[in-house]
Structure 1
Amino acid sequence: MATTWSRRVSVPALAAAAAVLLLASVAAGDDHNGVYDPCADASVQRGDGFTFGVVFSGRDSFFSGGVQLSPCDSRLGLANRAPLALYRPRSTRFRSSPSTPPPSTR
């Protein structure tokens, strides 16, 4: 004989779980940038997240053969020698050039 049982789920708990899922999908819904590598090219629009990294290392770590290289250059081997912090902020405003004033907020 098979045993069956049912579990009662409270309506407020179910509503709270649905609200959390809805808010999470709305928060992630605007981010159309799927590139998470700080060394890769990506197009970013307002509301997207973008990834950048900060390498903590001495000045000499960025030179190879007397030439200063990009932190993304694999010849440096920074991944094995230096700590890296990654950040993924969301963009809120873009300016076309440094001389363009921000829009008026009156």
Structure 2
Amino acid sequence: MVAGGLRVLFCGINPGLMTAATGHHFARPGNRFWPVLHLSGFTPRRLEPAEQGELLSYGLGITNVVARATARADELTAEEYAEGGRLLTEKVRRLAPRWL
């Protein structure tokens, strides 16, 4: 869910198990990302996780520091964070979003 020239690139730590199962970011019922995204004025209406493809039309994208899905972020290793940080830095340099 990224492209060059984004206004904002939202970055999570890593996908949760529900995201991995559905293929949609912040897919767990009750996750506050989608409601808050709308209430903050980033989108004209509340999007559902399955509508994440619409984010690009608003100049928004989503990525993660680490790609591996886990039930909890504390399951990630220091090595995964270090490598993820390196990859995220490269991604941000390449895509040049206005805000991360």
Structure with greater Cα Rg? 1
Greater per-residue helix proportion: 2
Same fold by TM (over 0.5)? no
Query: Could you state the TM-score of these two structures normalised by the residue count of structure 2?
Result: 0.23
Q: Normalising by structure 1, what TM-score?
A: 0.22
